[in-house]
Amino acid sequence: MRGTATGGAKRSRSAPYLLGLPALAYLGIFFVIPLVTLLKMSLSTNVGSVYEPTMVLDWHWANYSDAFSSYGAQFSRSFLYAGIATVLALLLGYPLAYVIAFRAGRYKNLLLGLVILPFFVTFLVRTLAWKTILSDTGWVVSLFDLLHVPMPDGRLLSTSWAVVFGLTYNFLPFMVLPIYVSLEKIELSLVDAAKDLYSAPWRAFRAVVLPLSLPGVFAGTLLTFIPAAGDFINAQYLGSAQNAMIGTVIQKQFIVVKDYPAAAALSFVLMAMILVGVLVYARVLGTEELT
């Protein structure tokens, strides 16, 4: 009997690890191995031609120094655009998530459906739609002209603001949904208790709702900033050559120039910079639920 109980306890302890094996195998095959391959490529030299690239691993660390010296402006521009888009998405997404969580009533599912509705259209088509909306003959430019709102060079398309607008729109659902989940979990009785203690609505929000929703804000800002920093579609179709982001450079190096070592090094530098930023951000914003 004791041996059976001991065997059952061992199986119960090992069950979570066994259940996680498929996921670990998936990550190993489709993430770790490609990442190691990309790392080797970033330290290689291309000795072939444009039509037949041939990689030789010679530990060419200069690929990384060249990434900083040659494309520093694109890195800075990418983080600037992504940061502005993240702030705009937060300013737009938090009130929307709040309304859906606490004020939508029976229309909650409908509003959530409208939030994720853009995902039924491909990313490229959505961006091209913004190209039409922000064109010189579009209604947005006409409205700005009517309101005498100044625009750079009298237009919106092929400007930095067009790129930021595109990033904000395309990644707004990634901000709304995590914040909504955090708000949905908040007990309304806590807010009522704050009001019973003569707390004004704004003070109750600041003391109760906002702190409890910080995990959603943390997740939403990361889910918005990280893909926005590496995006190249919006900069390519809504911006100009002066608005190129680092994702545009990586895409061009991989597909057009076919300088695979440089593209791989740029990818690793971007990943490293984002990782450091995420760790610092988590340290600053960290809550009990996050740590």
Can you give the chain as a three-state secondary structure string? CHHHHHHHHHHHHHHHHHHHHHHHHHHHHHHHHHHHHHHHHHCEEECCCCCCCCEEECCCCHHHHHHHHHHHHHHHHHHHHHHHHHHHHHHHHHHHHHHHHHCCHHHHHHHHHHHHHHHHCCHHHHHHHHHHHCCCCCHHHHHHHHCCCCCHHHCCCCCHHHHHHHHHHHHHHHHHHHHHHHHHCCCHHHHHHHHHCCCCHHHHHHHHHHHHCHHHHHHHHHHHHHHHHCCCHHHHHHCCHHHCCHHHHHHHHHHHHCCHHHHHHHHHHHHHHHHHHHHHHHHHHCCCCCC
pLDDT of residue 196: 60
Which residues, given as ranges, of the chain have pLDDT below 70? 1-12, 50-51, 195-199, 286-291
- What are the tens digits of pLDDT across the range 164-179? 999 999 999 999 999 9
pLDDT of residue 17: 78
Other residues' Cβ atoms within 10 Å of the Cβ of residue 267 = 22
pLDDT of residue 2: 52
Query: In CATH, which superfamily holds the domain spanning 69-285?
Result: MetI-like (1.10.3720.10)
Count H helices, E strands: the chain?
14, 2
Domain boundaries of the chain, sorted by first residue = 69-285
pLDDT of residue 291: 44
pLDDT of residue 4: 55
- What residue has token string 């690890």? 17
Q: Nearest-CA neighbor of 227 among 109, 89, 54, 98?
A: 89
- Please, what's the b/e burial string for 228-266 (b: 16 or more CB within 10 A of its CB; e: otherwise)? bbbbbbbbbbbbeeebbbbbbbbbbbbeeebbbbbbbbb
Q: What are phi and psi of 150, to 5 degrees?
A: -65, 140
Name the 3-class secondary structure at 57: strand
- What are the tens digits of pLDDT across the range 7-25? 555 666 777 778 888 888 9
Residue 36 and residue 28 in contact, taking contact as beta carbons nearer than 8 Å:
no
pTM comes to 0.87
